[in-house]
Every structure is written in C-alpha cells, then in structure tokens.
Structure 1
C-alpha cells in the first residue's frame, strides 16, 4: 500500500536516519562559533585547537548526514519536487564548503586564521544553518516528509 506522506529511504527500524545525524554537524559548527568568540576574548591557544577539532568532526558528520539526506531525496520523487528541499540542500552544501575552507585555513595558518576571517565565516555558517534548519523543519511539519502515515504498518 502506498504511503500518503513522502517517505525517507534511509531508515533504521522505520526511523529516518537524516534527522538522527543532522544535530551533530549543527552542534559542532555552532560550538566552533562559540569557541571562536571565546578565543577572541581570551587569545588562549586551546580554544583555537578546539575549533579545529570541532570543524573536523562537523565536516565528517555533515558528510554522513548529507548521504542520508541525498538517499531520501533520490528515493522518493515527492521529496524531489519540494522547493524547500533544494533550498535546504543548497544551503547545507554552502555551509560545508565554507567550513571546508575554514578548516583548511586554520590547518595551514593556525590560530591567525581565526580573527577575523574564521570568526566571520563561523557567524555566516550559523546564520545559514538557521535558514536551512527552518527549511528542514518545514519539510517535516508542512509537507510531512518522513512522517509515518496512518496507512503504513508499524
């Protein structure tokens, strides 16, 4: 029996994987911004090192979340036709590209890459994440992507 809601393809036990993973890169990238602010206020090198680790972990988890999200987009045509999907995905691709640059610049230049460029990139990323999170929320609550329909078996 066909589901009345768009279904996620990447699932474990009926639960969509993408929403399980997206919290990690979001947390790591927001924490990078917070640590950049603390580094700006203290100039302690430990905060610069923390941002490097946070960026690396965020990029790895973003790759996993992107794979799950892409699997969902490719798995159901009803998801692909939603305009919010492309704004969500495009914004998150932009986030990853910005954070890749942020990671690389810090890796090559060290703490000197944080102020002001790294801090500004981190701030921009947090703003984009607010937008893409809003679009992701809309896909779930407005279009019911990944929500079990009453006609689906448990």
Structure 2
C-alpha cells in the first residue's frame, strides 16, 4: 500500500480558470482552419476571420495566463514544477499568438505562409497548455 499525501497529487483548476482555458484552443483552431481556407480560396474574408479569432484567443488566453501566474506563486514551494511548466507553455502560446496577430495585421496577401505556420504552432501550444492544465483533475480515489 502506497501512501500519497494530498500535496503530491496535482491540484485541479479553479472552475473559472477552467472556463478561461477552454477558449484559446478552439479560437486558435478556428483561426488555423480559416487560414487554411484562405490559403485554398484566397477569399480575403477568411483572413479577417483569422484575425478576429486570434484576437479572441489572445484576450481570453491572457486572462488564463494571468491566473496561471498567480497559481505559480500560490503553489507549495516544493511543488511548483507543474504550475511553472503550465505557465511557461501558456506564455509561449500567448507570445506566438501575438506574433501571429501581427502577421495577420498585414495585408491579406502578405499573411501567407507565415500566418499559417504561426497558426499551426499556436494551436499545438494551446493543445499542450490545455493538456497540462486539465490533467490536474483528480480522477479517482488513491488507495
């Protein structure tokens, strides 16, 4: 029988933090899909959709990033590795998303292919941040 202290288990996210974390992945994924649509059709409206979706992902992702920073300082001294990794991935996601927004602020014809590459990177980072963030939920009883 292994005895595990409650501090060894990952702490679940606060419900409001979970809601904030739920937005960046689908918004950045929508931006990636609209970038792909623009790459295929060259309809300028798809580039506009991408810009707005990226802006939304940055807005909500910024609040999730702020909450993650607070969690880093609130975590126990010996158990900061996971919150710090989560914060770092969210920070890199936000910075890459910001550069993606700057690329999408250019003329629609000038956004390709850099905007598409940055959208892929942002989606992968948002997926990693969501994975790290949501994997902190306790799924069962420890025996």
Same fold (TM over 0.5): yes
Q: Provide TM-score, normalisation by structure 1.
A: 0.74
The answer as to whether partners of 1:35 and 1:50 remain within 8 angstroms in 2 is: yes
Residue number in structure 1 paired with 2:42: 43
Deviating above 6 A after TM superposition, structure 1's stretches of 4 or more consecutive aligned residues are none
Deviations 1:58-90 (A, max 9, x none): 111111111222223322326x72423222211
Partner of 1:101, secondary structure, is helix
The answer as to whether partners of 2:68 and 2:86 remain within 8 angstroms in 1 is: no
1:90-109 pair list within 5 angstroms: 90-107=88-105, 109=106
1:124 has 2:121 as partner: yes
Deviation at 1:119? 0.2
The answer as to whether partners of 2:20 and 2:63 remain within 8 angstroms in 1 is: yes
Deviations 1:106-142 (A, max 9, x none): 21x2213431101011111122222222222332247
1:74-85 pair list within 5 angstroms: 74-77=73-76, 81-85=79-83
Note closer, same or farther for the CA distance 1:37–1:55 as it changes in structure 2 (3 Å cut). same
How many equivalent pairs are there? 135
Structure 1 gap segments, 5+ residues each: 145-154
Deviation at 1:105? 2.0
Q: Provide TM-score, normalisation by structure 2.
A: 0.79
Structure 2 gap segments, 5+ residues each: 1-5
